[in-house]
A and B are shown apart, each in its own frame.
Chain A
């Protein structure tokens, strides 16, 4: 990879449901190790953009690249399935509602994909689960079922599960929005720790404080376009666009 090639690159991304355009010509570049926050009102297209990156919500136009590989390239159906399953192993995703597998223990949640997709042994998989759980501070919960965990703990397990695939980039889709306020911090701490390890992250969030303190760059989206982007100190302290100003006034004082 040459230095001037971005790690992740979204080029002219478009997405519409019938006549409704949710993404209108979005361009985004993320360098390796960068942490980008996407903020904006609900319905602005920020989650759709994030979900397009691993093709959960396929674009209707434009390209998405991870290093030198196009994620959403046109292939016959079967080949595309193979391709996208490979691609997704490199992209960790964390959801608002955790999406842990309730019929599996924490250990099994974490080891399922590495065992199935990377063919590692049970012993290796167990070691991997222990490592990842230690990282999110939940080593003592390894044999619990998700229903026995708090929301914050569930989300930390979900992060551990995604990390166990050794992804190149992590996507966070409002990872703390469904949590009780007192549980948000434990998840934020794990994300901060990832930031310190220079994990490439794209974070859709409603938490302006977190975006400001952790992210290298902030995108403000509204009505399917990137209205304004820049370093957090500029976006939060000195936004140029009126829509950004209005949005932040509501969110920072509310």
Chain B
């Protein structure tokens, strides 16, 4: 049985829809992972031990266990304690928290790299510690670590394929459904891969534009 790519156009709409779901999952989880990462970084660096250590244990849970398992736990496991999340929400929470932990490590390094004079400059104007962190330190830290965070976001896009296992009809699951109808795995996996590739190009372009736009303000 040879290759026959003529089956793809019939599934064009389905693949497009799957791609859109993948983009939606990626962007939603990216937002959670970004702001969650900032929050975790600030907690790790500035909060008292009584708050810091529980959060560190929580963070390590997300770093030290497989993402796939985390998704299963959030989607299938939480139902048992009465938390019945839609698959999309469960997927976004899982991906978002998982990458928030990775982003937090990077952002912590960025915060520590901000010059001490920035803190002093802000405090002498009368800003409180929290105001200084929020308005002066974190914005600068995020600017310097944007490239490595961008790399994480590209990894996030690729790992979003994992949420297919909890039934979110994103790109990978769409490809699998098409394959179960047509028995053409090679064609549809290649088509899905091509879609991921294009989405990734778009993501990279967006990240580069973002980096350029903040060049002068660093």
Contacts and interface: CB of A to CB of B under 8 A. Distances in A.
B117 interface: yes
B216 interface: yes
Interface string B118-135: 101111111111010001
Contacts of A145: 216-217
A161 interface: yes
A85 interface: yes
Contact of A102 (B125, B127, B135, B218): B218
Interface in A67-119: 81, 85-86, 88-89, 91-93, 95, 97, 99-105, 112-113, 116-117
Contacts of B122: 101, 113
Interface string B1-29: 00000000000000000000000000000
Q: Which of B115, B136, B214 has the most CB of A within 10 A?
A: B136
A101 B124 contact: no
A81 B140 contact: no
Contacts of B131: 116
A103 B137 CA distance: 10
B158 interface: no
Q: Which of A89, A91, A101, A161 has the most CB of B within 10 A?
A: A101
B118 A101 contact: yes
Interface string B181-214: 0000000000000000000000000000000001
B124 A56 contact: yes
Contacts of B123: 56, 85, 88
B126 A89 contact: yes
A28 to B, nearest CB: 19
B189 to A, nearest CB: 44
Given A102-B140, A103-B139, A54 B124 contact: yes
A248 interface: no
Contact of A117 (B120, B121, B126): B126
Interface residue SS majority, chain B: helix
B217 A113 contact: no
Given A56-B123, A95-B120, A95-B121, A103 B218 contact: yes
A158 B122 CA distance: 11
Interface in A103-152: 103-105, 112-113, 116-117, 145, 147-148
Contacts of A113: 122, 125-127
A102 to B, nearest CB: 6
A162 interface: yes
A99 B118 contact: yes
Contacts of A91: 124
A75 to B, nearest CB: 15
B143 interface: yes
Contacts of A116: 127, 131, 135
A165 interface: yes
Contacts of B120: 56, 95, 99
Contacts of A99: 115, 117-118, 120-121
A165 B135 contact: no
Interface in B82-138: 115, 117-118, 120-129, 131, 135-136
A38 to B, nearest CB: 18
Given A101-B122, A165-B125, 8 more contacts: A88-B123, A95-B120, A97-B117, A103-B140, A103-B143, A112-B135, A113-B125, A147-B216
Interface of B: 115, 117-118, 120-129, 131, 135-136, 139-140, 143, 214, 216-218
